Every structure is written in structure tokens, then in C-alpha cells.
Structure 1
Amino acid sequence: MTRARPLDLTGDVRALTAALVDVESVSGDEKVLADAIEAALRPLAHLTVVRDGEAVVARTELGLAERVVVAGHIDTVPLAGNLPSRVEGDLLYGCGTTDMKSGVAVALKLAAAVPSPVRDVTYVFYDCEEVEAVRNGLGRLARTRPELLAADFAVLMEPTDGEIEGGCQGTLRAQILTRGKRAHSARSWYGVNAVHAAAPILDRLNAYQAREPVVDGLAYHEGLNAVGIAGGVAGNVIPDECVVTVNYRFAPDRSLEEAREHVSEVFGGYEVRFTDGAPGARPGLTHPVAAAFARAVGGAPRAKLGWTDVSLFAGLGVPAVNYGPGDPALAHQQGEYVSLGKIVECERRMLDWLGTA
């Protein structure tokens, strides 16, 4: 079996990031990287290490009054000719540089460099975040080993360009259906065209005014959009069904059920089928541990305009934020890169937080 080179957790965090990036770990194929991470953490006497599938959990057990989780996924989207990594000036290019192996590198450095933090820490490196939720390694831990994720606060090291992003939006997808009657297109008047009947659905979407609520001091911006449309069975048949797929990104002041009710109301009179959904998470910045983190990191927290696994922590009753060195606008791009300076800055700020009360 292929093995990765041993990871050096004592060296420069920028070099560690490059080493992580150069270990291919597309979702579902993280074993080599998980093995390397486990091998690097097990010799550290101040950590208790647990392996669960391709997830690695490392914990301090100092009996301190507070416990925090620092978590990051180790998988990437499929490669696009963007490995091995390369450096150009201050930028490190390669698949997963921003999303989110730079954040993982910072977390690994912390795990090695801070044997006596002021708060007990659980480091979680997990698999299959970039694919369907049922495969998500963090979700698996929440279902089967929830005690490993118990904490007062969590930092998910998703790319945020070095700024705190509180909470996350919820998301749901729904199919809006129209029905018609098939007929030969040469005698279309004998049928009812379901695709034509979808025009009012698009009109409602064009006229939709998205909410911009402020939740716990952070401004969110919702969105309801068509992301697909399908109809028709042949080039000479009037279609008898059309499906418009919509995606609703909603602020965390709405529950998933309230979001479904809203979409049903917007498309009143149509058949609505909900295909998937995940709740959002409130910012959670009022907790004393979160406030200490915000002071250490600095800057003005902003809302996470997207869905992340902070939602999972919220479901466990753990307030969580997103914070990492990568730029989220670059995630999943062929030319993905991360600023080396941002990695160093993120490491310094996290060290300040874990080393001060």
C-alpha cells in the first residue's frame, strides 16, 4: 500500500501545509493521509488518540474547566491537474490548499506545539466532508461517538480568509412540479405543455425579495434560486411534466421546518417535493469561550454565507464558528491557492488563544 512521507509537526506550518496537499485525499480515498496524521500524533504523550474509520481524534486530558474542539476535514474535491503543490511568491497552489489543508496544518501544529493549553482541546481530523452528508465523518462521530465531540466551544477551520465567520446558513432543495398532458407536437393543441406551465414559477423566483436578517449581531443574506429545470421526453412530444429544482439558503433564525413552510408558501398552488435539507447554526459568539476566541483573533466577525459543519456542532449544543487561513472564494477551483502569510498569521492567533486565559 502507498504510504505518505512522515509528517513533521515540529517544522514550519507552511511546509506542513504543502506536505498535506501533496498527499492525494479525494473524498472516499483519505486512508493514506489519515494514516500519516495518526502516525504523527500518536507519539505525542500529552494527547490521547482515537481512530474511527478515516477520522483521527486527538485530545488533551488535563481536567481543565473548559474544553474546545478544533476540527477540519482532510478530504478534497477531485483533482483537476493541480497536484503536486507549487509555490509562487507568497502563494501555495494545489488541490485543497485553501479548502482546507492549510487549516488542517494549523490544527496539527497546535496539537504538537501546545502540550499544556489553558483549555482542554479535542482535535478532530475527519473524512468525506465534500460529499453527501450521510458519508460525513464528523456526522459519523456525532452518531456513534458523541462523547468525543462534547465541548464548550468549537472552531471549524474552514476557509474564511483569516476572519471569524459566525454560524452558518441552512440549506434545502425542493422540486416544484407542473403537470400537463402529452400529445404529438404536430397536434400540440390536444395536449397541455408542462414546461410552458413552469413560467409562473420562474416569475415568482425573479420577483422574490430575499431577507437580510441580523442574527445575534451578524448580517445574513438569504437566497431562493432555481438551480435546475427538467422536462420533456422526446423532440416530438408535448411534455406532461416539468420539474424546477430550487435551493433555499436561509438564515439561522429559521428552523429547517420553518424554511420548508416558507418555500411551500412561496410556491402555493404547486406540488412541492423536498429532496434534502440541513439546518443552519446561530453565531454562538456570546459564550465566554467564544468571546475569548474573538478577542484573540481580532477583527469584526461576519456571518457565514454558506452551510458548514458548525451546523452539526449546533445540533450537539456546542456553539461554533468558522475560522481558517484559506479564501473561500478560491475553494474547489482548478487554480486554488492559499496565502502563506495567512497560514502563519492564523497559526499565531490560534496559539495566542490556546495559550491565554
Structure 2
Amino acid sequence: MIGLVVSLALSLQLSDVACPVGVELNGPEGRAWDSLPLTALQTVGTHNSYKQAIPPAELAALLAQNPEVMALDYSHPPLSDQLDAGMRNLEIDIVHDPEGGRYATPLMPAMMAGQEGSAPYDATGMDAPGFKVLHIPDIDVRTSCPTLIACMSELRDWSLAHPDHAPIMVMFNAKTGGIDAPGATQALDFDREAFALLDAEFAEVFAPGHLIVPDEVRGDHATLREGVEAGGWPTLGEARGRILLVLDERGAKVDAYRGEAASLEGRMMFTLSESIEADHAAIFILNDPIEDRQMIAHAALSGFLVRTRADANTMEARTGDASRRDAAFEMGAHWISTDYPQPRSEWSAYQVRLPDDLVVRCNPMTTIPAP
């Protein structure tokens, strides 16, 4: 690993940004370092941040059909509690529901109703038109905020109450399809109209200036990528109390969202960058910090922002394997998401936190230690 880092350092122009090791950059105590660029930061967040646990009876029934369902055995507290605990990256899965009610009666809770270890399904808000938040229609549907408006309103309110917070990045998966079962609900496709409605919901929640948007980073440059390469990211001070939204999708969904706006002109969200040369390149989502380690370091050293995952499918927590987590920190990802900001103690002591329990620290790849 050291050889790879040295090779990358020699092949790219390393930042001369000096940043204090072991200093908290989040909150008012970090204000002395407000001139740092966003690329100088590193922090932790959560994967599928809205997700509540599948009730024991439902999980057991699903496991009996497919042992791989064990990958769904994780959950998170409400978004505000996660933000209080220092999470600065959230992930939200959304489904399109323009008429309302499409996802209000999921199969698994109805099938298991009344059985020991089951739990009633709360369909509050599910009948109204608008985007809903859930993991897998019919089987993994319990969330701490069932609608996008509810999730974003909770985030907005927390942010306004904590104006010194380091910027929060929120990723969105636009879910389509569903399970193969009689009576199952298939999530609707996302076309240009759906994405226009999505941006409209964001605009309904967030006041102008609360979001860091692609137009701000692009500035007067012809493309978003050129804006990034010219240092268009706001400083930490300029980004405090603010939020970035990112569409974590590829192919037809991203094409539908961008439309004719190759650099995301007028859009509320950034999109997953497909290459460093792309006009829209700004934020990379590289989920495996071991397989993607070279690209993570290269993108970070090139001035792009990077999110990766420290764990997946509950495996690291079950085995205690910290290799992905440690690689994510070392290779310079800016946001490192996990299902385990706290350990699952019945399995192992595995968890993902920054050293010294910092919320935001200096990125070890993109900065040099301050004297």
C-alpha cells in the first residue's frame, strides 16, 4: 500500500494545503481552519441512513427462503440522532409515487401480521403523492422518515439549528423494479418528468443558498469539471451549515436527470462522475476502497470529492475485518459510509469512527501536516 501511495504522489501534483493533525474541523471549534478547501476534509457517514430493522418474524421468513437476506440485518436511528453523533454523509433510497398510495400496503408486513415477532406497518404519509423512502418494496420497507419531504425537512431543521456544521453530503438511489412474487409492487421508472419533480421537492424544502449546487462550483467555467479543476469548491467556511445532494445512479437514469445539461446547469444534485474527463465530473462514488483504491487516491489528489464504503452486506461486522475501513481512510476518500458507527457487539467490535472520535479531520491524502 505504501508503494502505491508514493507512486501516486510522484505522478500527481500533491496539495500544499497544510492542515492540523488531530484537530476537530466540525463545529465552532474548527472555525480557525475555515480557509481550507472541501478537498482537505475527511469524515464518516451512514449507508441507507433511513433504514429501520426488519422485524424478527419477517427476517426469519425471508432468511428461510434465501440466506443472503442476512445482508439486510442492519438498521439506523433517526437522521437527527445520526447527525448528532457526527455523521456527515447520508444515503436515501427513493421511489417514485406521483399519485400516492403505491407503496402503502407492502406484502411482507401484511403476510406476517399478528405473528409473534412481527410488527404493524405504519403507513403514515404513504397515501399522499410524492417520493417515498424505502429499501426494497414489499420486504424491506420500514424507515425512520417514510417520505422524501419528511427526510429532507428533518435534515434541513437539524442543519439550521447547527449552523457551524461541516457540509453534509446526501446521496440518492432512484429505485426501480421490485421482487418477483405474486401481488408484488414494482417501483416506477425515473424519467425526465420524475426527476423534475424530484428537484421540485428539494426546492420546496431548502431555501436558496442552503444547498451547494453544481452551478456554484462551475462558476464562469464552461464545464463543471473545469470549475472543479480551477478550485471551484467552496472553502470549509463557505460550506458550513450547507448540504450537497448527489444522484448515485448510472446510465439511463443519469441521462434522464442531466438531459441537455451536460454540466448539470440548473440542477439541484451532482451526479456520480463517470470519468475524470467528463464534463459533469465533480464527485466520485467508488464503493470498494480495496479494489478502487488507486482511483480513489487519484480522484482525491486531482481535486474531486470521493465517497466510499467501509463495509457491505454486514460482513465486516460479522467477521471484525477492518481492511476496507482502513483502506478507505488511508486512500483519501472524503466521505466514508458504514452501517456501523457503533459496533454490533454480539458479532464483533467492528465500527467506523475517525481517530480520537473526531467528526471531521484533515484528509491524510490531500493535505500535509500543519507545522
TM-score by length of 1: 0.29
Please tell me whether Structure 1 or Structure 2 has the larger radius of gyration of its CA atoms. Answer: 1
Give the TM-score, by structure 2 length. 0.28
> Which structure: greater strand fraction?
1
